[in-house]
Chain A
Amino acid sequence: MKEIVVISGKGGTGKTSVMGSFSYLGKSDLVIADCDVDAADLHMLLGPDYQRSEDYYSGELAILDQDKCINCGACLSVCQFDGIQSENGTFRIEAMNCEGCGYCQRVCPTNAIQMETQKVGEWYTSSSKVGSTMVHAKLGVGAENSGRLVAQVKNEARRHAKKEGKEIILIDGSPGIGCAVNSALSGADYVVFVTEPSVSGIHDLKRVTELVKGFSIRSGCIINKCDLNSQMLDELITFMADAGIEHIASIPYDETFTAAMLEGKTLVEYDKGPASQVLIKSWEKIKQFAETEGCLK
């Protein structure tokens, strides 16, 4: 079984559109895992049916029992996160700020504070409209973007891949370099970067490449909007060559991506234009790369 992760570092490079097209192209061989759980968009292209949903609990929140509280302020004095607010001599928990460390509970002389596990999201197992199984999640607003939810989505996807005898798990990773991306990369066989030839695109790709290096995973790159700036394109290609990132393909700026999205379709099912052709070839390449034993591993 091979795990292919699609990430971008910078947002707005077309990662989810590319991911959607690959899901469509590989539908009979793969299970999809949407690990971009904070503002997940892939479901809009793949029409999952939310067959099964499960609550996701994570972290704790301090709950203050006003009847037991003697307003001594011990909690306030230890909290590092502005999680305790005092108004006119009484105290309350500011849930948005509470980090869940439980220090206040430990110092409260009257046991007025309890720590409660919170439901912070849901995760789903679906059959997507392209036919393959899709595991995805919705993280509640303001929740900690925990790597565990990502790990859970991936594990469920692995389980299904095994059960259905699918060879590939295609993973949509999140932006940034924090804990969610770390979780998405762990155990992956191949990483596909989707970037653009802009100062920000290059800058973010460099940072996320540092992270991927730490995992010793092979990687390749799709350059979207490749005709945006030729100087930046040269710089990007040089960087990729130096970093050992395979150049999978380049796609010129194309508003068909948006047109397809407006109809809730992946690009390759929307039309057979030049961008679709590039994506079809890219997917073939990626499958090959992922099957070749890694030179970096």
Chain B
Amino acid sequence: MKIAIASGKGGTGKTTLATSLSSHLSETQDVVLVDLDVEEPNSRLFIRGDQTHSQSICKQVPEWTGDCSLCGQCQEICNFNAVIKVGTQIMLFPELCHSCRACSELCPESALPLKPRKIGMLNQIQAGNLIFVESRLEIGEQQAVPLISQTKDYIDNHFDESYIIIYDSPPGTSCPVIEASKDADFVILVTEPTPFGLYDLKLAVEVMRKMKKDFGVVVNRDGLGNNDVLDYCDMETIPVLARISNDRRIAELYAAGELIFSTIPEFKEQLLLLERSLELSTVVDPV
């Protein structure tokens, strides 16, 4: 089971929910939490444990051998302007390269062999029974998608279906979010009950529908603004999975990098509710 936690708007509580839900579930099950918000990964700030693995993540980019007839086909082939011919040189701009391999494989003289280029670091941490994996984009790299995609490959290669896998997705509605949620079985959209929250939620819903995903909404800071988010979900028949109340204590714990569910009972109640609606519980409810 793979669950992606996403939101249109940033700062709605994605990381709070992802870290708490996965820590809570890991008390009874095998859980892997994966931070795919590679531009600003901060789930790690809430996870206490030991690093068990670390590796560079690379993408394959062409490198010019310096020896060719300068036919210029590579420049004509590249749709991203990552390779150009200037005078007697072939110049490459690796941060523009999408690693499609076309220039390299179609070069008649094999003068552009592929070489790995580091785009980020992947770290794995063991925190009790919870396994945490994060990837961090190198500053100056502009493309998050290849790093997200390779991080998911790492997860697929190391953890089988017996694990519950939780993705902390990047915010927004563009490519990185799609990459992060495209193979999820279920997506939780976190929002807050304000006009900004609602507007961005609608965009996120549009993305999920376009991707034909099963999804539900968690309202964070419930009670803060108005009822428009709840009315919208009702009208669109989108399930509201949990409502986390607007509680200053939560913001304070979050600020300090503490996990919230163990300290605030009302929050834990909402997590249990979420767990039941996702049918993740292993224990039958005693009600």
Contact = CB atoms under 8 A, between A and B. Distances in A.
A and B touch in the complex (CB under 8 A): yes
Nearest to B192: A12
Given A41-B9, A142-B175, A176 B102 contact: no
Contact of B252 (A9, A201, A214, A229): A229
B99 A141 contact: no
A210 B79 contact: no
Interface string A75-110: 000101100000000000000110111110010000
B126 to A, nearest CB: 20
B27 interface: no
A12 B251 contact: no
Contact of B45 (A103, A145, A200): A200
Contacts of B171: 11, 39, 175
Contact of B225 (A9, A143, A197, A262): A262
B144 interface: yes
Contacts of A204: 40, 42
Which size class do B's interface residues fall under? 35 or more
B137 A12 contact: no
B79 A60 contact: yes
Interface string B79-102: 110000000000000000011111
If over half of A's interface residues share one DSSP class (helix, strand or loop), that class is named, otherwise mixed; here it is loop
A139 interface: yes
A44 B228 CA distance: 15
Interface stretch (B61-69, B195-203, B266-274): B195-203
A210 B9 CA distance: 24
A253 B42 contact: no
B175 A144 contact: yes
Nearest to B251: A228
Given A12-B9, A261-B194, A261-B195, A41 B40 contact: no
A78 B196 contact: no
A39 B173 contact: yes
Nearest to B205: A141
Nearest to B44: A203
Contacts of A261: 194-196, 225
Given A96-B182, A261-B194, A80 B251 contact: no
A176 B39 contact: yes
B170 to A, nearest CB: 7
Contacts of B174: 38, 139, 142-145
Interface of B: 8-12, 15, 39-40, 42, 45-46, 77, 79-80, 98-102, 105-106, 137, 139-140, 142-144, 170-178, 182, 194-196, 199-200, 203, 206-207, 210-211, 224-226, 248, 251-252, 254-257
29 contacts: A11-B10, A16-B196, A60-B79, A78-B105, A96-B210, A96-B211, A99-B100, A101-B98, A101-B102, A102-B77, A106-B102, A141-B173, A142-B175, A142-B178, A143-B175, A145-B176, A178-B39, A198-B254, A198-B255, A198-B256, A199-B46, A200-B40, A204-B40, A204-B42, A207-B39, A207-B40, A207-B139, A225-B251, A258-B194
Interface of A: 9-13, 16, 38-39, 41, 44, 60, 78, 80-81, 96-97, 99-103, 106, 115, 139, 141-145, 147, 174-179, 182, 196-201, 203-204, 207, 210-211, 214, 225, 228-229, 231-232, 253, 255, 258, 261-262, 264
**Considering the complex of A and B, which 4 residue pairs feature the smallest CB-CB distances, nearest first?**
A12-B11, A11-B10, A101-B100, A11-B11
Given A99-B100, A179-B142, 5 more contacts: A38-B173, A142-B177, A142-B210, A176-B170, A177-B40
